[in-house]
Structure 1
Amino acid sequence: MNEAQSDKDLSDWLSIRRSHSSSRQLLLMAYKNTSRQYSALQTLITSLDSCLILGNEHTKRSLGSDYVKTNTNVIFTQASHIKPLLGKDFDLVIYDCMDGIVANTLFAISGLIRRSGLLVMLCPKLANWPSYFARHQGIKFSYGEAHTECVFASFLSGHFLGDSQVAQIDDSGAILPIVASQAEPELTLENVCDAPPSSLRQSGFTLSKKQQDIFNKILRAWDEKHISNSLITGARGRGKSTLLGFLAFEALRRVLIGTIQSENDDSQIAICAPTASQAKIVLDVVNKLLTQDSSLSSSQISLIKNTNIIQSYAPDQSDQIPENSYLFIDEAASMAPELIDKLCEKVSHTVLSSTMDGYEGSGKGLLYRWLPMQINTTEHYRLYQAFRWDNNDALENMMAAIFSPNLTVLDAEQPTSTLHISDGLHCLNKSELLGDFKLFRECFSLLQGAHYQSTPNDIQRMLSASDYHIWLYIENSQCVGIICTIEEGGADTFYENQLRFDIAMGKRRVQGHMSAQALAQALQIPEVLGEPTLRINRIAVHPQIQGQGIGSQMLSCLKKIFLQTKNQKQNLSTSFGMTPKLVKFWQANSFRLVKLGYRKDTSSGAVTGHFMHSESESYKAIHDLAKASQAIDMHYLKRFNPSIYRSIPIELLTFENKETIEEAKKSITKQKRALFVNETLSFDMSKSSLAYCLYHSSESNLGPARSLFEELHQPNLSKTQKLENASKLRALMKAENIGKHLR
């Protein structure tokens, strides 16, 4: 096909799509000829009103840098800078995938396209995807990981190839199907609310009938004070954030005109979201309503601008929110249930909103884990109708099926797949997922339901990484559980002595190998990296049969394979945010804490802990050292970071009072003191041992050293000041021989 014919076919297709009010679609553009690609992109951009291009400098040059700069309907950005654009919409989104596909990005940008719009992927031919994207991976994999075929690319290309609604164009020809739009969503006059609150009638905004119904019910709940929490859920594009903004504005208006009063007059509108950009979407709605509302006086508007009456907060800032506030949480499913509880119990009324299938995390965990525990205090509202596209939109249906599969009900009459897997724990051959979408759906819907942080990138990594293994637990021909494991460490990967040493001393950190690196750094033992470790990254049980010991059975099966088989002996580890419930589960299954984190995870609000099975070879060898290291860390946290110390489950705050552990504490402290003084170990890597050294020494000249140590913990200390103080402390300890005598 010549260039002129190709452009004509594309123009005709675009013209037909406009005249027939087509559904949103995916167009795969796989030109090798750059001039033809340029011509086709120009045709697309000039035919549609607004365009977002995700690419690099090569993409910009291929389109013409001046053209991109001067064209006001085109926004150009890198794929990694997509977050500030979430909540906006475009007629055309072009994603240059030649440097690799990122699943999170692909799923996110498909939600930025308005009705009848197009998502264009600049990519190789589908047949070349498995080998091409093995070389151009898009996301990072563990150090030492390599593969010649990308299973995720095979899965994705197979899905696109089998979908008759996906359009394709390349040097040899074009497949350009027309997908008719379904019935228009709530746009008719009778479906648009005809009686918004009087203060909002002049705003230019309108709520749908369903949104207005939810709005009114939540206002009644505020007035009657019979329910403290309201949860609004739905798929993306349903207007949840807009509704949240309307509610936040109404609360703000009530505060200003005095219908919400508190004894201390410190009512505040608190907006909380996992990211600042997500909170800004809600704040933008409030600000737009504020500028267009005629019922507020200039003095009231000035009060808003000059005070913190409306404020955004990070998820871990619950202690900063005034008690009389009205709290609005967007994308709540991206937060851990425990963190949501802390936020909700602080205020009188909370409105939560969440997507059930977002790119930052699955909302299903919120429904399965948090909502059942809040049945008496939370009213759940659902938005089903799409606003930016049709309910049966072709692009949305395809993306949801791939990246957010729905959990199916267990049915003895319907086996999991056609594989006829026997009962028990089985390591899945990932290629089996390529032709068995039912099995794929079972696997990943289980993970999304159990883990609030599961994202499309997890699917990409699980399918593509050769060190990532998927284990299915089958019972009565049904997939009732899943475990995901990652191979870490090992002499074949960490064969360089210098690399092992640098990691153990905190001078280097490689991608992946989380538990292996954490343990090597905690104990300054480079040899730990040479021991093969299997880290349990995910574990999930179907909600219908949770609480019946299935999770423990799965771990027991895995232990038999990896710890009790002569040819398979290696370490078995895991890491997680340490809530009391999770600690109890893992300890009951013989996993023991070996490394304590120093910070709270922003999403979970819990301190991370690294655990290892008590029958692991490495655990037997380092048991006393690990226990001693934890005791030293606890001593440091209790004195210098009490908020972290208080968040550690009480089960972990008691230690064996063994002579060998006491000797190990002295040994670790002296070793880290020597490494710090000799400039081998940084202050941050050695601070817990230095604290133990300074506050357990029998020496009398510790005042100046303690003062320097405490200065290093002052807030807002610059990097330069910290380095200078650490250098002074190092010199003082060396000159005075501080820390050589521990009581």
Structure 2
Amino acid sequence: MFDSNLTQLRHKARDLHQRRLIVVSGSVAWCRERAVEIFATSTGETLWIGDEARHGIATLGAARSRKVLGREVDTLVFDAHCGFDPDAFGATLGAVRGGGLAVLLTPPVVTWPTFNDPQNRRITVAGYDPATLSARYITRLLRVLRADPHLWWLQEGEPIPPLPSGALETLPQPAEHVAHAPCRTTDQARAVEAILHTATGHRHRPAVLIADRGRGKSAALGIAAAHLLHERDCYIVVTAPRRDAVEPVFALARSLAASETPHGGGLLEFVPPDELVRHPPAADLVMVDEAAGIPAPLLAQMLVHFPRIVFATTVHGYEGTGRGFALRFQRLLDRETPGWRALQLKTPIRWSPNDPVEALAFRALLMDARAAPEEAIADADPDGCPIDFIDRDQLISDEPLLCELFGLLVNAHYRTTPLDLRHLLDGPNLDIAVQRHQGHVVATALMAREGGFDAATARAIWSGRRRPQGHLLAQSLAAYLGIEEGPQLIGARILRIAVHPAVQRRGFGTALIAHLTATSQAQGLDYLGSSFGATAELMRFWAACGCRPIRIGHRREASSGQHSVLVFHPLSQRGQRIDAQARERYRRNLQVGLNSSFADLEPELLTLLLEETVPTSGDTLDTHDWHDLVAFAFALRGYESAQAAIERFTPFALTQASADGQIADDVRALLIFKIIQRHDWPETAAQFGFAGRRECVERLRAALRPLLLRHGDDSVRDLIEQLSN
């Protein structure tokens, strides 16, 4: 019966060009025997995802699952006995072509929730045993699998079941008329047309392609590239988070180029995102694939620098979610290139529409989660929305609430991946706070408790011998700021905060942090803090919440493209003592790195960071300093002879003027670049387009004059008047 059912299932899948899922539950040996039997019936490429290689079968560990992106297989086995990695499961399912089978091997159904899953180590924090983590994620996953009418479930010790009726039904297929080869769908043809229009039409009108897996997004890039290289002599640059992610683009372009006689010429080349921004080539067109996996600051620089550029990303991706990317990136596109065009590729190519495995993957991994409808929360007000902590045992039984919550996190953080859902449900030290309006989630924050280590462990962290997972703030106090007592304090770290786009800038985020601060203080915690990629907007938000910076990373993070910053709000006397030490070390570290590690910080951001480190007045300047400043700004004194006074005066004057909104962006940028970050004269001239040192000096004199008039006392103003006559 097993063989006949399997044969019938394969035939049905091939006839419909759809995929089917088989779940095999039981002991390791029994499950793997059944999987080998299924593999034996495959006539195409096969792939086994697990830690143990099977004889004669291509095997890949779950940690390397991204290598299958762009690849197609006929039969896939995913061995959950080696751990259920949601990212890997979603990525590898997408590699199964229409007509193929996916096989999920699991522990026995009754014991899977209590199985010591190796993946638990990824979400466990120091102080917790991975074996004792909750099973909420697997419990929900089992519920979703059981409810699916299309999968065939084999269980050790049970008779071979008949094929479910859903696995054999013929789902309606929409008619699809393709405009022309080599495009395989109308969606893909439109995408190629949009790319060509971006390459040859008006400048600064980028195209943004968004698609789910299997829709031919990358192929559209390859087809367009081949067409352009065939017709003209041009230089096309392709970039993506990883080179192997865009191999299909190059493979298709090479294939099409080999089948045609070129009229033009040119070059199709891969350039990593950071290199593309650091040394921009003279490209005729830039193609950015899997854009949601590239830090937003790099995307912004690409958009500004390259007049002809195409962005493509996956809606439900494993580098990041294209939906969140589109929502957040749209603001920049509207501001910088209002003529941009968005296209969504909906029709699948790798399998037929209404594919049951795709629908199951969306439900199981919550990849189709949506935030609350805008019309349901349009009139929400922070004062009328209570803040509650969610019981996660109840959360997995409330699917609409879970979908709205996770959908909101996806929208707010476009690097969200399926693994984040497992952390949301099973993270051991996690609390979830939500604000709801008429039952709908309008804002949420995830908070983790950290610290509480003994003195010996704190010493080990301070000395660099221990790095306890999941205790970022506690560890940073000792390992980076040298405060040995820091890990002994108990604090709360805000991991994520998200406010629905429809109600942003109404005070929801500030109210949420205020509530968490009061709750943490009432619980006797020593501090509340957070870590994030530093931007001027975020620094202002956290400052309004009472959290001030205590550390900024020396390098830009690959995940955000920004320098990470730690902010800290003391809640106890111990916390206040640690805060004073941390802020002093922050001041010293920032000053030391201004012309090295932090020489590339954006002027507005650096101004906000400096506010915490500079005097609030010019009392530190003596009479000679003021005279040197006046002689430089209002006379002809050389820069170097007044440099000491200039460097003491500028930080406090600049932060005061910025806080009051009384300084132009270009003036602030010049003062920071030359005086605070200490770039040399050729660098300054090149950065601002000045003719040379002489123009740099004159611009600095002009920038300092209004600041001196504002902050100097009567004697300073008298001296200025004398020199002006």
Q: Shorter chain as normaliser: what TM range?
A: 0.7 to 0.9
Once residues 540 and 560 of structure 2 are traced to their aligned partners in structure 1, the CA distance between those partners, rounded to angstroms, is 17
User: Paired residue for 2:51?
Assistant: 56
1:362-404: per-residue Cα shift (whole Å, max 9, x none)?
A: 1222222111342314111111101112322111112113331
Shift of 1:79: 1.5
Which amino acid in the other structure matches residue 437 of structure 1?
E
Once residues 588 and 243 of structure 2 are traced to their aligned partners in structure 1, the CA distance between those partners, rounded to angstroms, is 36
1:271 to 2:234 alignment: no
Q: Secondary structure at the match of 2:509?
A: helix
User: Paired residue for 2:656?
Assistant: none
1:536 to 2:499 alignment: no
Which amino acid in the other structure matches residue 250 of structure 2?
L
Shift of 1:577: 0.3
Once residues 38 and 583 of structure 2 are traced to their aligned partners in structure 1, the CA distance between those partners, rounded to angstroms, is 66
Shift of 1:592: 0.6
User: Paired residue for 2:78?
Assistant: 95
Once residues 282 and 468 of structure 1 are traced to their aligned partners in structure 2, the CA distance between those partners, rounded to angstroms, is 41
TM-score (norm 2): 0.77
User: Paired residue for 2:371?
Assistant: 407
Once residues 649 and 363 of structure 1 are traced to their aligned partners in structure 2, the CA distance between those partners, rounded to angstroms, is 30
User: Paired residue for 1:473?
Assistant: 435
8 A Cα contact 1:101 1:138, kept in partner? no
1:17-40: per-residue Cα shift (whole Å, max 9, x none)?
A: 357537423221113383674155
Q: Secondary structure at the match of 1:368?
A: helix
1:520 to 2:487 alignment: no
Shift of 1:523: 2.3
1:289 to 2:256 alignment: yes
User: Paired residue for 1:387?
Assistant: 349
Aligned CA distance change for structure 1 residues 388 and 330 (closer, same or farther; 3 Å): same
User: Paired residue for 1:356?
Assistant: 315
Q: Secondary structure at the match of 1:358?
A: coil
Task: Determine what percentage of the aligned residue pairs are the same residue.
Answer: 23
1:504-562: per-residue Cα shift (whole Å, max 9, x none)?
A: 12233122211111121122223211111211111111111112111111111111211
User: Paired residue for 2:537?
Assistant: 581
User: Paired residue for 2:553?
Assistant: 597
Q: Secondary structure at the match of 2:41?
A: helix
1:12-68: per-residue Cα shift (whole Å, max 9, x none)?
A: 5435535753742322111338367415522343234221101123xx3xx4x2xx1
1:322 to 2:281 alignment: yes
TM-score (norm 1): 0.75
User: Paired residue for 2:225?
Assistant: 248
1:176-229: per-residue Cα shift (whole Å, max 9, x none)?
A: 32243534577x6xx2333x5xxxxxxxx4343232223224423433315431
1:264-313: per-residue Cα shift (whole Å, max 9, x none)?
A: xxxx422111222213332333333333332258xx5xx74xxxx62322
Aligned CA distance change for structure 1 residues 93 and 155 (closer, same or farther; 3 Å): same
Q: Note the residue ranges of structure 2 that are not aligned, 5 or more in a row.
A: 617-725
Which amino acid in the other structure matches residue 428 of structure 2?
S
Which amino acid in the other structure matches residue 180 of structure 1?
E
User: Paired residue for 2:292?
Assistant: 333
1:616-639: per-residue Cα shift (whole Å, max 9, x none)?
A: 655411333222222322233223
User: Paired residue for 2:562?
Assistant: 606
1:455 to 2:423 alignment: no
1:626 to 2:611 alignment: no
Once residues 43 and 148 of structure 2 are traced to their aligned partners in structure 1, the CA distance between those partners, rounded to angstroms, is 24
Aligned CA distance change for structure 1 residues 627 and 15 (closer, same or farther; 3 Å): closer
1:168 to 2:153 alignment: yes
Once residues 245 and 651 of structure 1 are traced to their aligned partners in structure 2, the CA distance between those partners, rounded to angstroms, is 44
Q: Secondary structure at the match of 1:523?
A: coil
Aligned CA distance change for structure 1 residues 617 and 105 (closer, same or farther; 3 Å): farther
Shift of 1:455: 0.8
1:127-146: per-residue Cα shift (whole Å, max 9, x none)?
A: 22211146763634211223
User: Paired residue for 2:331?
Assistant: 372
User: Paired residue for 1:668?
Assistant: none
Which amino acid in the other structure matches residue 547 of structure 2?
F
Which amino acid in the other structure matches residue 125 of structure 1?
P
Which amino acid in the other structure matches residue 502 of structure 1?
A
Aligned CA distance change for structure 1 residues 319 and 656 (closer, same or farther; 3 Å): closer
1:653 to 2:630 alignment: no
Which amino acid in the other structure matches residue 372 of structure 1?
R
Once residues 438 and 415 of structure 1 are traced to their aligned partners in structure 2, the CA distance between those partners, rounded to angstroms, is 21
8 A Cα contact 2:321 2:415, kept in partner? yes
Q: Secondary structure at the match of 2:81?
A: coil
1:702-738: per-residue Cα shift (whole Å, max 9, x none)?
A: xxxxxxxxxxxxxxxxxxxxxxxxxxxxxxxxxxxxx
Aligned CA distance change for structure 1 residues 645 and 33 (closer, same or farther; 3 Å): closer
Once residues 373 and 98 of structure 1 are traced to their aligned partners in structure 2, the CA distance between those partners, rounded to angstroms, is 44
Q: Secondary structure at the match of 1:469?
A: strand
Aligned CA distance change for structure 1 residues 355 and 19 (closer, same or farther; 3 Å): closer
Once residues 35 and 479 of structure 1 are traced to their aligned partners in structure 2, the CA distance between those partners, rounded to angstroms, is 44
1:182 to 2:171 alignment: yes
Q: Secondary structure at the match of 1:357?
A: coil
Q: Secondary structure at the match of 2:469?
A: coil
Q: Secondary structure at the match of 1:609?
A: strand
Once residues 324 and 572 of structure 2 are traced to their aligned partners in structure 1, the CA distance between those partners, rounded to angstroms, is 31
Aligned CA distance change for structure 1 residues 75 and 116 (closer, same or farther; 3 Å): same
User: Paired residue for 1:694?
Assistant: none
Once residues 633 and 40 of structure 1 are traced to their aligned partners in structure 2, the CA distance between those partners, rounded to angstroms, is 57
Q: Secondary structure at the match of 1:328?
A: strand
2:389 pairs with one of 401, 411, 427: 427
Aligned CA distance change for structure 1 residues 251 and 506 (closer, same or farther; 3 Å): farther
Aligned CA distance change for structure 1 residues 463 and 316 (closer, same or farther; 3 Å): farther
Once residues 581 and 136 of structure 1 are traced to their aligned partners in structure 2, the CA distance between those partners, rounded to angstroms, is 35
- Cα RMSD (Å) of the superposition? 2.8
Q: Note the residue ranges of structure 1 that are not aligned, 5 or more in a row.
A: 69-73, 197-204, 261-267, 417-421, 660-743
8 A Cα contact 2:77 2:103, kept in partner? yes
Shift of 1:408: 3.6
User: Paired residue for 1:229?
Assistant: 206
1:67-92: per-residue Cα shift (whole Å, max 9, x none)?
A: x1xxxxx4222121222221111121
8 A Cα contact 1:597 1:608, kept in partner? yes
Q: Secondary structure at the match of 1:82?
A: helix
Q: Secondary structure at the match of 1:540?
A: strand
8 A Cα contact 2:25 2:31, kept in partner? no
Aligned CA distance change for structure 1 residues 179 and 630 (closer, same or farther; 3 Å): farther
Aligned CA distance change for structure 1 residues 458 and 158 (closer, same or farther; 3 Å): same
User: Paired residue for 2:178?
Assistant: 192
Once residues 195 and 614 of structure 2 are traced to their aligned partners in structure 1, the CA distance between those partners, rounded to angstroms, is 55
How many residue pairs get aligned? The number is 601
Which amino acid in the other structure matches residue 291 of structure 1?
A
User: Paired residue for 1:157?
Assistant: 142
Aligned CA distance change for structure 1 residues 49 and 279 (closer, same or farther; 3 Å): closer
2:597 pairs with one of 634, 641, 650: 641
Aligned CA distance change for structure 1 residues 403 and 18 (closer, same or farther; 3 Å): closer
Once residues 480 and 573 of structure 2 are traced to their aligned partners in structure 1, the CA distance between those partners, rounded to angstroms, is 18
Once residues 568 and 217 of structure 2 are traced to their aligned partners in structure 1, the CA distance between those partners, rounded to angstroms, is 42
Which structure 2 residues correspond to residues 693-712 of structure 1 after superposition, within 5 A? none
Q: Secondary structure at the match of 1:639?
A: coil
User: Paired residue for 1:38?
Assistant: 33
